[in-house]
Chains A and B, each alone.
Chain A
């Protein structure tokens, strides 16, 4: 289920109602900043996709974002390239000529290759996703998708620059989240969070500096893979924002128009 931007009047209405004090960032600004950092250490991506148009579009879009892209047009070629290694993320279409995407990933996993893999598929139902992830995929995005969504997920998979899984304390500017003590402080001031708010902030901070989409939040914080119809996530995020940003400067949790959210040190 693809999350859609501003497709309901309700969302638009509540956005504008709340929007006055919410910090909005244009996606283009994020991209510009991201490109600059990507030029210093670009991600190496392998796209295995048989549809030439789709592959060209992805190659172009990822290059614009500053990443290095290789494209394979069938499963066998994809497997040969992937086995050579050196990629940060594999983007694999599920239905491919010569060898299907799932078996490419299963083959790599069988060799102990743990390169993060994102599966693209026209099959978007629950059981399709389950088989995809069971085959060793790390994420699953049904077609058709928005490029913003794909890019956000790929960057999240690459886990560059963010805190490591072993880190027990996440920090963004003066905001601190202690995962062991389950506590949160900003500027040394204690912030009381509900369990779900804690998990939401934890996910955002783990991907600090990266755009996180609403679907990613719904999947990773709530473990739901369905279309929530309205702006449920926005409401949760704005509540969290009221706790961590209100009365502090600068704001850290930003809405990225047309994409999702980002938590970052605005001063940087």
Chain B
């Protein structure tokens, strides 16, 4: 039964505020875990919503495309420009393409893409589902014998998990292009020489860790946005809170995950 009722027993009023907060925190964690468990349980069981997944992939990609293009280019250009003086001190500006490629592929591209997508896609998912909850559209799906969780949550989470890695690859390419513009403007390096220098220090592990990161970020953005929206309440105020919560929580988790994945991949280097 997919009710909006809390399954957690109400806390006794005489408990201290700290204990109440602690208990609420664990109750929330349990709710999030059951939400994620439900995603894995329903997403890969028929009937599949292929058409809606494709639509959500398109929406996710289109929503962020312009911003990611601009941001990726600026990040690549500025990073190259700001790194030049430090390398110039050692007469090592020829290392600039290698430095840029390592920074962009290993860290900046997935991170920038995830942060942009958290703001654009995560907030949009949170607000959309929150608004559907408040206007009883989710209830309407439920009482008509359809599965709103599968249609609304599974499709959106799958879409962000698929599209964010693609966007991150695109961001990396655009950022490298931004870096090239700066390098060729200052050193007159050819495109071919720049690209050869870019890929020279890159290993398969760099691509692999970047891809894994993007997949994890995509999943996080989708699941957080959906969770905030799906369980939003308190009318229009709740919709705003869902959108805001989706962005803040997703961004925070993205940084935490970045740190963990960097540590883990460091062991394999």
Q: Do A and B bind each other?
A: no
Q: Residues on B close to A: CB < 8 A? A: none
